[in-house]
Amino acid sequence: MCVAVPAKVIKINGNNAEINSMGVIINIDISLVPDVAPGDFVIVHAGFAIQIIDNEEAQKTLEMFKNYAE
């Protein structure tokens, strides 16, 4: 059960955050990554952020992802 997608945190609302992944926006639960800040990248699984991604590496992944989608 490992389907998870990288996304950028846009806004934080208590235990929830609005994230954007290539234009798809959802509200997710950030109880598992309470220290996350807007602008951070997270890995999202089933509506929860399960880990914060290293920023530099995230750009690399999303770049690859962008190329993949082109």
Partner 1 sequence: MQNNIIALIEEIKRTANGLSQINIMEVCGTHTMAIGKNGLRQVLPQNINLISGPGCPVCVTSISDIDNIIELAENPCNYIFSFGDMLKIPGSKSSLYKKRSEGANIKVCYSPADAFDFAVKNPQKKIIFIAIGFETTAPLTAALIEKAYETKTNNFFIYNTHKIVPPAIEFLLNSSNKNNISAFLCPGHVCAVTGSRPFDFISKIYGKPAVISGFSAEDILKSILMILKQIKNNKPEVEIQYDWVVKENGNPIAIQYMDNIFDINDAIWRGIGNIKKSGLVLKNKFRNFDAKVSFALKDVLVPEPRLCSCGEILLGVKKPFECRLFGKSCKPDNPVGPCMVSSEGTCSAYFKYEKYKT
Partner 2 sequence: MTSSAKNNNFSDKNILLSHGDGGIKTGELINNLIIKYFGNKILNRLEDSAIINDFHNEKIAYTTDSFVVKPVFFPGGNIGKLCICGTINDLAAAGATPMALSMGLIIEEGFEVKYLEKILESAGEVLKETKTAIITGDTKVVEKNGMDKIFINTSGIGYIRRNTDITPLNIKPGDKIIINGSIAEHGLAVLSSRPEFNFKTNIISDCAPLSSLVNEMIGSSDKVHALRDATRGGIATILIEMSEKSKTRIAIYEDRIPVKKEVRTLCEFLGLDPLYIANEGKMVAFVDPADTNKVLDAMKKNKYGKDSCIIGEVTENSTEGAVFYNTKIGTKRILDKLYSEQLPRIC
Minimum CB distance to partner 2, residue 23 (Å): 4
Angle made by CA atoms 59, 52, 8, in degrees to the nearest 5: 50
**Rounded Cα–Cα distance for residues 30 and 15 (Å):** 5
Angle made by CA atoms 31, 24, 36, in degrees to the nearest 5: 30
Minimum CB distance to partner 1, residue 38 (Å): 19
50 is an interface residue for partner 1 by CB under 8 A: yes
Site residues (CB under 8 A) for partner 2, limited to 23-62:
23-27, 44-47
51 binds, among partner 2, partner 1, none (CB under 5 to 8 A by kind): partner 1
CB-nearer residue toward partner 2: 35 or 69: 69
**Rounded Cα–Cα distance for residues 26 and 6 (Å):** 12
